[in-house]
Amino acid sequence: MWQLSFTFIRTNGYKPIIMPEITKNQLKHIRLLRQKKYRQQYGEFVVEGEKNVDELINSNLKINHLFATNDWENSQQFAEAISLSNKELTQISNLSTPNKVIAIAKIPEFDFDLKELNKGLTLVLDKINDPGNLGTIIRSADWFGVKHIICSPDSVDCYNPKVVQSTKGSIANVQIHYLDLNEILTKTDVPIYGAAMEGKKITKDFSFANPSILLMGSESHGISTELENLLNHKITIPKQGKAESLNVAIATSILLHHFNS
Give domain limits for the chain.
24-106, 114-260
- pTM for the model stands at 0.89
Residue 249's pLDDT is: 96
pLDDT-derived band at 94 (thresholds 50, 70, 90) equals confident
Cβ pair 158, 184 in contact under 8 A: no
CATH dotted code for 24-106: 3.30.1330.30
Q: 114-152 in b/e burial notation, b at 16+ Cβ within 10 A?
A: eeebeebbbbbbbbbebbebbbbbbbbbbebebebbbbb
Residue 198's pLDDT is: 86
Count the alpha carbons within 13 Å of 244 in the hemisphere toward its beta carbon: 2
Which one of 3.40.50.10540, 3.40.1280.10, 3.30.300.30, 2.60.40.10 gives the CATH number of domain 114-260? 3.40.1280.10
Cα distance between residue 20 and residue 124, in whole Å:
43
Residue 45's pLDDT is: 97
Q: What is the DSSP letter of 23?
A: P
Cα distance between residue 122 and residue 223, in whole Å:
16
The residue ranges of DSSP E strands in 69-174, in sequence order, are 82-83, 101-106, 121-125, 148-151
Taking only the tens place, the pLDDT of each residue in 228-249 is 999 999 999 998 888 888 899 9
One-letter amino acid of 258: H
| Among the listed residues 169, 182, 168, 160, the one whose alpha carbon sits nearest the alpha carbon of residue 228 | 182
Phi, psi of 192 (to 5 degrees): -110, 120
Residue 10's CB is within 10 A of a number of other CB atoms, namely 10
pLDDT-derived band at 158 (thresholds 50, 70, 90) equals very high
Residue 206's pLDDT is: 86
pLDDT-derived band at 4 (thresholds 50, 70, 90) equals very low
What is the overall mean pLDDT for the chain?
Answer: 88
Taking only the tens place, the pLDDT of each residue in 17-68 is 556 788 999 999 999 999 999 999 999 999 999 889 989 988 999 999 999 8
Taking only the tens place, the pLDDT of each residue in 171-223 is 999 999 999 999 999 999 999 999 988 889 998 888 899 999 999 998 788 99
